[in-house]
Amino acid sequence: MALEAGVKAPDFALLATPDQKVSLSEFEGPVVLIFYPADWSPVCSDELSVFGAAKKLFDDHGAQLLGISVDGPWCHEVFKEKRHVPFPLLADANPHAHVAKAYGVYRDADGTSERALFVIDRDGTVAWSYVSPVGVNPGADGALRAVEALS
């Protein structure tokens, strides 16, 4: 069961590159966590493209976008370059999917995560969450409305 609004968001530190970690607690403004099953899948590529296109709208509200999947940092590096993703993609690979598990969105059946969105407020609390069917791109509108409501 995915974490719901009002719950303290679990902090984490995940690799954004093969040698650089990013933690949730280092951000002061709202943070949008974009859990997606895997790099290179068509729906995931489309979802991250939508968030990339909307990045300025999130930036205008001081919000940081962070993509999270069970892929490793090397895979993320190539995917970001080829797909022009303008925000960090974090590797929830080692230990396997511990962040997806902490947020209640790990998929035991295939070892990936649900397609889920979380907006974390300045106090580190989940302000909004949404789990989409894994084959459906949820778009950025709901997360953007949640970020705007925090402004």
Domain extents in the chain: 13-19+27-125+135-150
CATH number, domain 13-19+27-125+135-150: 3.40.30.10
Is residue 75 part of the annotated active site? The answer reads no
- Cα torsion for 124, 138, 80, 59, to the nearest 10°? -50
Crossing angle of the two packed helices 73-83 and 42-53, in degrees rounded to 10: 60
Q: How far is CA 97 from the centre of its chain?
A: 13
- Cα torsion for 81, 84, 88, 94, to the nearest 10°? -50
Q: Are 119 and 150 in contact (CB under 8 A)?
A: yes
- Bridge partners of 8? 125
**pLDDT score at 141:** 97
Q: Are 102 and 87 in contact (CB under 8 A)?
A: no
The one catalytic residue among 44, 63, 66, 116: 44
* Pair of tokens at residue 68: 């999270």
**pLDDT score at 53:** 97
pTM as predicted: 0.97
**pLDDT score at 45:** 93
How far is it, in rounded angstroms, from Cα 15 to Cα 55? 21
Tens of pLDDT, residue by residue, the chain (151 residues): 999 999 999 999 999 999 999 999 999 989 999 999 999 999 999 999 999 999 999 999 999 999 999 999 999 999 999 999 999 999 999 788 999 999 999 999 999 999 999 999 999 999 999 999 999 999 999 999 999 999 8
How far is it, in rounded angstroms, from Cα 46 to Cα 56? 17
How far is it, in rounded angstroms, from Cα 5 to Cα 14? 23
